[in-house]
Amino acid sequence: MTKDGRYRDWAGLPPELTWSILSRLGTVDILEKAQKVCKSWHSVCEEPSMWRKINMHNDLGFMDSLTRSRHVAMCRNAVDRSQGGLVEIDIWYFCTDSLLNHIADRYIVSIDSTMAIYASLVQILIKTLKLNYPVLSYSDDEFAIAIAESMPKLRNLQLSGNPYMSNTGLQAILDGCLHLEHLDLRECWRLDLVGDLEKLCAERIRVLRRPGDPTSGPHDMFWL
């Protein structure tokens, strides 16, 4: 209600203003709540531009099978609504082989997933050579080399919590990804950042998270 006693008609807002408001919500809130408010909001939520970025990060870190299945279905819906315009997606804790392939088929340019399966990601690397800004988690030296060889324009890379990658894999990434600006190596305990490798990281990487850095706030440098 306004000061003069009239009610504000949110459904009557210009579409571009409604888009600006709703785009600040998370994907789950849009699909389960916002789009059901009225016809005008639903129409805005159908716009492909609303789904260029899909944020379905689960801060609780645990989902039962029913919740996970519902999130996978919502994610597929959101990806399809993007109509090939998807550029960034955050799907921590409920990623599956089939969902990753569904996403990759829509030409995304950034993936953030801590539940990705090694074999699936290798195949997705082959399918998505157009990627410019991917964020991928859990890889070893072989996968690191695949990243270096197939993604020369890579700018953001998250490898935190990777217990397998060694200096060999990191060197391959630094040699092959000359545009890399953000690199997250937290809890990559096999890495030994000393000597020339440490110097190369310091000179080349604008935002570097080292193996011993605090792990709180995993998205603080990637989703700005």
Q: Report pLDDT for 129.
A: 37
Q: Write down the pTM of the prediction.
A: 0.52
pLDDT tens string 19-28: 999 988 989 8
* Domains of the chain as residue ranges with CATH: 51-209 (3.80.10.10)
CB count in 10 Å sphere of residue 25 = 15
CA 150 to chain centre: 19
Longest dimension (CA), the chain: 70
For residue 178, give both structure tokens.
């000359």
CB count in 10 Å sphere of residue 15 = 12
Q: What share of the chain has pLDDT > 70, as a percent?
A: 70
Give the integer Cα–Cα distance in Å for 86 and 78.
9
pLDDT tens string 143-157: 788 777 767 777 878
The lowest-confidence range among 23-27, 35-39, 42-46, 213-217 is 213-217
> CA dihedral in degrees (185, 53, 76, 181; nearest 10)?
-20
